[in-house]
Chains A and B, each alone.
Chain A
């Protein structure tokens, strides 16, 4: 039975046999990539903005989910809470996407041939899809869900799942730096 580490290592080895290697080497030779790479402070500054955007998006997800669990925000309705925090989730995600592209252009080999990077990308698509679907069902069903225990259970399971998913995404994001290469 191979361990998770073995699977990640194998994924990394396979990634390096794909055209992604050539693509990342090509990106590395482009003027923008060289500019980012040669200026010492560009990557730390992009990473700082990336982390601040995670704080914005994750903080907003937490605030909505605490409201679902009735552990915070009880002075407001579910609708008021989502109205306050949803835009911040999506604007944060936009900043994450832009800074993420910046880091990838600056260090293409480190990102594009990295197993943790691609696992993170897949989970982001999953998390964004689940969030969109969950948002929709909460909006449609919140008035009913809040009245039945089944509905509350469904909302709470979804909320806990979304938090867990974002935590795993942050784990993978940090482990890009430690992935075997």
Chain B
């Protein structure tokens, strides 16, 4: 495995060992991770459905973005920090798990989709901001985002069921 020394060092760190041994730490960070992730997915879905032209059609797209994006990012930060804390408790096990690796790739792809949307499609938002019908680029971005996050939740849940299947 790539960077094996790094994963072993993380797992062997005082914090990693503490989270792995403690009876409360892992479940507590995991619970915060779940609350953060449902907030991320819930708020992103509100925006995606607007981009797809399926809901909130009377709301300007820019207003919808302002209403949801700060909460999406705030919750995403909580999910990232708690996720990192969970990761270091069993770093070598997670890094060998294909569902964990798929989750990282899918989150990256969701980020790329968001970046492309903001750099390209968003430039013309003034023309369709208040229209219930959105352009093809916006529909594509909304649909991809929704799809990526649904699969992220599935592979994330699958990690917990397959931890002992791939560890050496």
B78 at the interface (CB under 8 A from A): no
Known: A48-B154, A63-B67, A66-B71. A170 touches B38 (CB 8 A): yes
Known: A58-B39, A59-B41, A170-B35. A52 touches B150 (CB 8 A): yes
- Scan residues 31-52 of chain A and give those whose CB is less than 8 A from a CB of chain B: 40, 43-45, 47-48, 51-52
With a cutoff of 8 Å between Cβ atoms, the chain A residues found around residue B71 in the complex are: 62, 66, 72
The answer on a CB contact under 8 Å between B59 and A75 is yes
From B7-15, B26-34, B86-94, B133-141, the one touching the partner chain is B26-34
The answer on a CB contact under 8 Å between A55 and B68 is no
The complex places the Cα of A166 from the Cα of B152 at a distance, in Å, of 23
The answer on a CB contact under 8 Å between B38 and A54 is yes
A-B contact count (CB 8 A): 81
The answer on a CB contact under 8 Å between B43 and A47 is no
The answer on a CB contact under 8 Å between A84 and B56 is yes
Count residues of chain B with CB under 8 A from any CB of chain A.
29
A171 at the interface (CB under 8 A from B): yes
A28 at the interface (CB under 8 A from B): no
Task: Say how far B77's CB is from chain A's closest CB, in angstroms.
Answer: 16
- Scan residues 1-56 of chain B and give those whose CB is less than 8 A from a CB of chain A: 27, 30-31, 34-35, 37-39, 41-43, 45-46, 55-56
The answer on a CB contact under 8 Å between B27 and A178 is yes
A153 at the interface (CB under 8 A from B): no
Task: Say how far A5's CB is from chain B's closest CB, in angstroms.
Answer: 9
Task: Say how far B131's CB is from chain A's closest CB, in angstroms.
Answer: 15
With a cutoff of 8 Å between Cβ atoms, the chain B residues found around residue A170 in the complex are: 31, 34-35, 38
The complex places the Cα of A66 from the Cα of B74 at a distance, in Å, of 14
Q: Which chain B residues have a beta carbon within 8 Å of chain A's beta carbons?
A: 27, 30-31, 34-35, 37-39, 41-43, 45-46, 55-56, 58-60, 63, 66-68, 71, 150, 153-154, 157-158, 161
Question: Beyond A63-B46, A72-B66: 17 further Cβ-contacts under 8 Å?
Answer: A48-B153, A51-B37, A54-B38, A55-B42, A55-B153, A58-B38, A59-B43, A62-B39, A63-B43, A66-B67, A66-B71, A72-B68, A72-B71, A75-B63, A84-B59, A170-B38, A178-B27
